[in-house]
Amino acid sequence: MLTYKYSKTLKFLFSLYREGIKLGLEHTYQLLNYFGNPHLNLKIIHIAGTNGKGSTCAHIESILRYSGYSVGVYTSPHLVKFNERIRVDGKLISDGEIISFMDKASEEIKKIKSTFFETTTVMALDYFKKKKVDIAVIETGLGGRLDATNVIIPSIVVIASISFDHAEILGDSIEAIAQEKAGIIKEGSPVIITKQDKVIMDIFKKQVLKKNTSMIVANVPNNIKIDYDGTHFNLNGEKYVTPLIGEYQAENSALAITALKELNSSFTYDVIFQGMKRVFWPGRMQRISENIFYDVGHNYDGIKRTLEALKKMYPKYYIYGLFCIKKEKDLDSIYILLQYFKKLYVCQDKNKLLVNVEKLSKKLKSFNLESNPVDSVKSGSRILQKIVDKKSIGLIFGSHYIAYEVFDTFEISFDYYNI
């Protein structure tokens, strides 16, 4: 009975996508008010950025949990199950809690025409209040200034790497995108930011002055080394390791460490070190078999960083790729990175949310790039398993939407939040 009700509830929840993306806070405030304004009772870390904000959330969550805090985390999108988006102390929100919230909210949602993300944001905040978390880690969905999460009053604001993405919504220049991200800065909420290009830093400095708050730039990690165990680095003269692979993960870790020390200066080196060792954030340079990796990176900066990490780990190896993408126009910037593959296969997800393989292959051909369409993620993965040898590696990349199929094909357990 619960399974049927859960499926029916999710069907209604996902139907709210028809309302599209509505940048603005009015409906979120209305729905929050309907639930008694749960956000006003929470201590919150608010995180924005283009790439790395999810990984930064994961590091902050892991360290806080190891140090004894009760932690609520709200991130998006999910990889396998909707419940992943909302979790407390490592456990996903239950099907029953989702049903209960939606039963109470459905009429109000219809009345105000709340979107999917507005609804899930309020669901998370209401759940965190019920669970009486010590602190909530909230990731923005899209942009910042008009993102549904920007109703909160954070203790600190954390800004990860900013680059081009969602230009059709956030603006067609890096300045416009940075301006949107800077919109989450509030008076009295210190800003911790990873080092960015000068044009981005100038925008944040201006907003910090306007909001009469302070800004700390995380120190750049050094002596970075990548291996199968993760990423080793030094920060402020201390040695750390994160299980996540890539030089950029050292930057994300440094940002998380800096933010937590600003939040509470009593965090010790041992607590941070041990907490970081326990981080697990699937779909980010995740090794899914001997020489095959999966990464959800879908924009130029994300894919570039993944390829740089692979080339650093395997400098003399060929790379075979299985690629998919949500928007054809994103290829205009990404295509130049695809020339590094020895052979490239293209696929589409089962739900047909991504670009059709024939269309994708044709578009790649217009850039003088040869690709090989396959009929499914599974068949493309099987091909990689056959052709990848001791002198080559495989990379499955381009979208979150294929995560379930990738994990299913490689028989990877997804019960990681309950460790």
pLDDT tens-digit readout, 214-253: 999 999 999 999 998 899 999 999 999 999 999 999 999 9
Q: Which domains occur in the chain, in start order? A: 2-277 (3.40.1190.10), 286-418 (3.90.190.20)
Residue 7 buriedness (CB in 10 A; 0-12 / 13-18 / 19+): exposed
pLDDT value, residue 83? 96
Indicate the DSSP class of residue 419: -
Average pLDDT, the chain: 93
Rg (CA), the chain: 21
Which DSSP letter does residue 365 get?
A: H
By C-alpha distance, which of 305, 295, 300 is closest to 394? 295
| Distance from chain centroid for Cα 176 | 21
**308 Rama class: left (phi>0) / alpha (psi -120 to 50) / beta:** alpha
**What's the distance, CA 211 to chain centroid?**
27
Rounded CA separation 48/218 (Å): 15
The per-residue pLDDT for 417 is: 45
pLDDT in tens, 305-356: 999 999 999 999 999 999 999 988 778 889 999 999 999 999 999 999 999 9
Contact 331, 367 (CB under 8 A): yes
Q: What is the mean pLDDT of residues 373-381?
A: 98
3-state secondary structure of 56: helix
The CA distance from 306 to 283, in Å, is: 11
Q: Is the pTM of this model over 0.85?
A: yes
Q: How many other C-beta atoms are found inside a 10 Å radius of the C-beta of residue 186?
A: 15
